[in-house]
Amino acid sequence: MAIVRAFKAIRPIEELASKIAALPYDVMNSDEARVMVKDNPYSFLHVDRAEIDLDPSIDIHDKKVYAKARENLDNKVINKEYVQDEHPCLYIYRQIMKGRSQTGLVFCASIDDYINNNIKKHEFTRADKEQDRINHVDYCDANTGPIFLTYKEDDVASEVIKAWTKRRPVYDFVSEDGISHIVWVIDNEIIVNEVIELFKDVKAFYIADGHHRSASAVKVGLKRREANPNFTGEEEFNYFLAVAFPDNDLMVMDYNRVVKDLNGLTKAELIDKLQDKFIVTKSKDNEAVKPSKKHTFGMYVEDNWYVLEARDGIYNENDPIDCLDVAILQNNVLTPILGIEDVRTSDRIDFIGGIRGIKELERRVHKDMKIAFSMYPTEVSDIMDVADIGEVMPPKSTWFEPKLRSGLFVHKLS
């Protein structure tokens, strides 16, 4: 059983919600963030990427950046851009992208559930990225970006949530990328307690996106426990901001690969080597290949598209990791043929989220790469299967859309 806790969110006033809400800090760099906030002093990027308000020469991990983030967050409250709910509430966050919706519950998750693996992970984290968010959370004394969770029980509180969403939302706007964002506040104590009780049937939550943010939030909580040895467990630093969506609401998009060279091979030699592990077929009329089933890949090289179908026996269907398409490509193409041993560190490979479209692969091959591979999307059930056995997904396995907006909910730690 994983804990769901109501909290008193600090959140935008209704008329500023659309201007404040921002993409997560880690989907853009500083230069891109500076462009994105042009003419928008309200954007939450002024908090999540506070270096944009300092000289561009400053190191993004300088303490001045974190201090500026705290200053900007405090000013949003002082300037009454934000208000805080008077009583602990739960929140409903719905996103609609191209007619498809996902509806999640916003609450505070327990750092103990994370530690005890009631909140399951499927990615490794990097110490430098963790430290950046540890500093950010610590300085701001707040969780500023929600962790994206999912769970298996898809109807656990659906009727209660559906009934509440018939009320007028507090926010209802369309962001610049065409995605609708709708938020309701569950401020009725009886309904709040009912939802919390219903979620006790959820055995575990799974992190869909936000491994670094969740790890950092937990470490800040542990740091504060150490500084407060008489803590009771009820203090806000024992919890972190999360949004949980039922698994059947979510869409994982393809996460494609482009490589700078053919590792010294000609195209003919490459295809000859591929024939041992794949059935290789040239695309009819050279149409771009967007795989429609597992274990099938598109390959674009020298202005031609090919279909690669994995042969039987090159993967173990009973192994949750070995049968993943990202693992099949890595184990049978990227490493043995193209010589890329570690996709985390190699500068010969890049990754392109499916949101950018299949033509982006062609563009990159014509610009600065030599070969591209289009992938069939990893499924949410694959992520859960890997997390359930305590393992991690291969790097760059998942690309979730739409992205949760930061700035709509802030959870103060004290």
Q: Is the pLDDT of residue 136 over 90?
A: yes
Note whether 182 and 277 are same-domain residues.
Answer: no
Note whether 202 and 279 are same-domain residues.
Answer: no
* Whole-number pLDDT of residue 126: 87
Note whether 263 and 123 are same-domain residues.
Answer: no
Q: Find out whether 134 and 219 touch, Cβ atoms under 8 Å.
A: yes
* Whole-number pLDDT of residue 255: 96
Higher pLDDT, 303 or 124: 303
Mean pLDDT of all residues in 380-384: 95
Measure the CA–CA gap between 290 and 288, rounded to whole angstroms: 6
- Structural domain count, the chain: 2
Q: Is the pLDDT of residue 153 over 80?
A: no
Nearby residues of 100 by Cβ (< 8 Å), 6 or more positions away: 251
pTM: 0.92
Note whether 244 and 261 are same-domain residues.
Answer: no
Mean pLDDT of all residues in 198-215: 94
Q: Find out whether 373 and 360 touch, Cβ atoms under 8 Å.
A: no
Note whether 150 and 244 are same-domain residues.
Answer: yes
* Whole-number pLDDT of residue 86: 97
Q: What is the pLDDT of residues 395-405, one digit of tens each?
A: 889 989 999 99
* Whole-number pLDDT of residue 325: 97
Note whether 199 and 286 are same-domain residues.
Answer: no
Q: Is the pLDDT of residue 27 over 90?
A: no
Note whether 25 and 103 are same-domain residues.
Answer: yes
Q: 221 is written with which tokens?
A: 């909580």
- Assigned domain for 173 exists: yes
* Whole-number pLDDT of residue 344: 85
Mean pLDDT of all residues in 348-353: 95
Reduced to 3 states (helix: H, G, I; strand: E, B; else coil), residue 402 is: coil
Measure the CA–CA gap between 357 and 197, rounded to whole angstroms: 42
Percent of the chain with pLDDT over 90: 95
Q: What is the pLDDT of residues 73-123, one digit of tens each?
A: 999 999 999 999 999 999 999 999 999 999 999 999 999 999 999 999 999
- Assigned domain for 95 exists: yes
- Structural domain including 19 reads 10-251+401-412
Note whether 245 and 321 are same-domain residues.
Answer: no
Poorest-confidence range of 7-16, 147-156, 191-200, 258-267? 147-156
Note whether 129 and 225 are same-domain residues.
Answer: yes
Helices 127-140 + 63-78 axis angle, to 10:
40
* Whole-number pLDDT of residue 155: 85
Mean pLDDT of all residues in 173-190: 97
Name the band, by pLDDT with cuts 50, 70 and 90, for residue 16: very high
- Assigned domain for 150 exists: yes
